[in-house]
Structures are given as structure tokens and as C-alpha cells.
Amino acid sequence: MNINVAILGSTGYTGAELIRLIDNHPHFNITHLGAHSQAGKKVSDILPGIASHLGDKTLAKADAPLADDIALVFAALPHGAAAQSVKTALDANKRVIDLSADFRHQNTNTYQAAYDIEHPYPDMLTDTTYGLSEWARHKVRQARWVANPGCYPTSVLLPLIPLLQADVLSNHSIIIDSKSGTSGAGRSLKTDLLYCEINEGLTAYGLPKHRHVWEMEEWAKIFGKQSIHIRFVPHILPMNRGMLSTLHLTGKNTETWHKLLSQAYANEPFVRVLPAGQLPTTKAVAGSNRCDIGIQLLNEHEAVVVSCIDNLLKGASGQALQNANIMFGFEETLGLSAHAQWP
């Protein structure tokens, strides 16, 4: 079976990663590559890593109509811009995976609080499917469009949900410290991301409340059935890709937590719970769609849980393709079986 797909925002970091992944997929076939400021240029002039069969294509304008034979659209656009493209694609009867935050919330209040803009299609939010694949398969399978989770929320929710579901946390105010590679901020020019500003340094940002906190709290409550308050401090690191989140947790029966996590993900191809006491590293997931989770008990009431993902894969384009596989009834791992790059 061949399914034609469009990638909107194909010149950005997540868009380029989608091209790399999907071009290896046995059933998805890229026929449309959209751009914004780079529209009209040759793909390989903007993305030199893309081989000639796609590199010779011309980048379409952001609002160019999508051919009738395109069944699936990946929208890898900035929030705010994505909503209109998603709506247009849905109106043209396409299915959509949206990598932006535009449909990640269930009501306008949280969206507006997090992003400080008005949502153009507030009614659509009540129908949104939040594509945290491991916890939302049944919904993704039926969905016309999927809101792909943010990178920080993916790295936090995967380790947190099984512990919330088991009701073992006593303190529902959780401190989370995360580090992200620079590609997490996208490809557009920003002075504070210039080489001299970022290299050999480490910066905290996003305080007092990073926009992903609303997303984490909202979906922790839905999947984990518990209301929590998250104090979240993200940091940006001078590495291209990778994300590490450290969750400082207090509760009961900490000696059971490793088993809880292991059981929750025992049959998951992309979530690996490391042996007790072993902590994950970004190097071991870079280039793969995996989330590695490690737990270190501190005493009978406290533990530190650490998770690592590649922000561009499980944190964005990898999870987007995982969701597309689910949507179209394919093996979830199709096009995603690559191990991490090493070294």
C-alpha cells in the first residue's frame, strides 16, 4: 500500500527529520514539501543532507493547495501558524499529525495561558487527540487529526504516568529539572542561540512557568488520574539533540516503583526501563525513537527518576511517524527501528 504524504514546514529541524524518516518508510511516500520563507527554492539548497531524488524538488508555498491524492499531512510549523494549515488540510479530507502545540490543549483557557495568543478554532480543541502513543493508541487509531506531544512533556509524562496511576506519590507538587539540546529551539535565527552565546555554557530559562507545564499538568491528570502541580526548570545545552528530564519524587513503597515502571512498559518497543539504579544518557537514545527511563531510590520515601529522549525523534518527528503508523494500521515500528547513533 502506498500513501502519499505532505510535510509542511519541511525546512525546519523537525520537518527535515520527518523527511529522513519517512523517505525510508515502506508505505508512506513524500509528494509535497512545504516551506515559508524558503518556498520556491530547491530542497537540497536549504537541506544539503537530503539526497537528490527529493533534494531536486521545489519547496511549495505554505498555502499551496494539496493534491487530491495526498492522504496524510504532517504539520511541522510554529504554533499559531499551524492551526490554519491543520484546518485547511482537514477541510480537504486529509488526516493530519500536527507537531505544534496548537491542538495539544482541551480548552482555550490553557492554550491562551500557555501561548498568550487567541486560538482561531477553539471548538476543535474539545475533539483533540493527544498523541502520546503508548497511552493513546486506541484514540490515535480513530483520529482524523493528532496533536503530537511536546518534547519536554513526552520526557516527563512517560515516567510519571505509571506512578500516578499506581497512586504511590505522596507529594503532588513535583520538581522537574530538564536539559535540552539546542535543536529543541528550532532552526530560526535567534541571537541567544548563536555559537558563541551557547557553546561551552548552560542556561536555565522559561521561568516562572514554561509553556509546556500546562501541557504536562493537563495530560498527567487525564492519563494518570491525579491532579499535580509541576515546578519545572528547563535548561538549554550546547549539544545538537537530546533531552534529559530529572523528576524528584516523594511517596510510598519506593521499592516497588522500578517494577511498576518495568511492567507498564514491558511490551513497548520504544520505552526501555533500565535495570534498577542505572541512569540513562542522551547518547544512548540520540537518533532513535526510544525513551530510556532510570530510577534511583534515595530512601524508602524518595526517588529520582531520569528519562532521556531524542527531542527530534520521540520528542517530535519519531513519535509523529509512530502515530501515523498507528493511524493507518501499520506496525508501529515501521521506519523507526534505527538504534541510537554511536558514538
Under the rule (CB under 6 A), what is the footprint of ligand NAP? 9-15, 35-38, 62, 76-79, 81, 99-100, 150-151, 183-184, 186-188, 311-312, 315-316
Give min distance, CB of 86 to ligand NAP, in A.
Answer: 11
Look up residue 315 and give its amino acid.
G
Around Cβ 23, how many Cβ atoms within 10 Å? Answer: 15
Give min distance, CB of 311 to ligand NAP, in A.
Answer: 4
Give min distance, CB of 247 to ligand NAP, in A.
Answer: 19
Give min distance, CB of 35 to ligand NAP, in A.
Answer: 3
Residue that the C-alpha cell 483533540 belongs to: 128
Look up residue 299 and give its amino acid.
N
C-beta closer to ligand NAP: residue 166 or 309: 309
The answer to whether residue 291 is catalytic is no
The distance of Cα 300 from the centroid of its chain, to the nearest Å, equals: 33
C-beta closer to ligand NAP: residue 66 or 168: 66
C-beta closer to ligand NAP: residue 9 or 159: 9
Give min distance, CB of 166 to ligand NAP, in A.
Answer: 28
Give min distance, CB of 120 to ligand NAP, in A.
Answer: 13
Measured distance CA(39)–CA(210) in Å, rounded: 32
Peptide bond into 153 cis (omega under 30): no
| Bridge-based pairing state of the strands 243-250 and 3-8 | unpaired
Q: Which residue is nearest to ligand NAP (CB)?
A: 12
C-beta closer to ligand NAP: residue 99 or 174: 99
Measured distance CA(159)–CA(293) in Å, rounded: 7
C-beta closer to ligand NAP: residue 145 or 257: 145
Measured distance CA(330)–CA(317) in Å, rounded: 17
Q: For residue 170, what are the contacts with CB-CB under 8 A and spacing of at least 6? A: 250, 251, 252, 301
Measured distance CA(98)–CA(150) in Å, rounded: 11
Please give the order of strands across the beta sheet that includes 70-75. 28-33, 3-8, 70-75, 95-98, 145-147
E runs forming strands in 95-172? 95-98, 145-147
C-beta closer to ligand NAP: residue 25 or 314: 314
Distances 239 to 73, 81, 125, 242 between C-alpha atoms, Å = 30, 27, 35, 7
Q: Which residues are catalytic?
A: 151
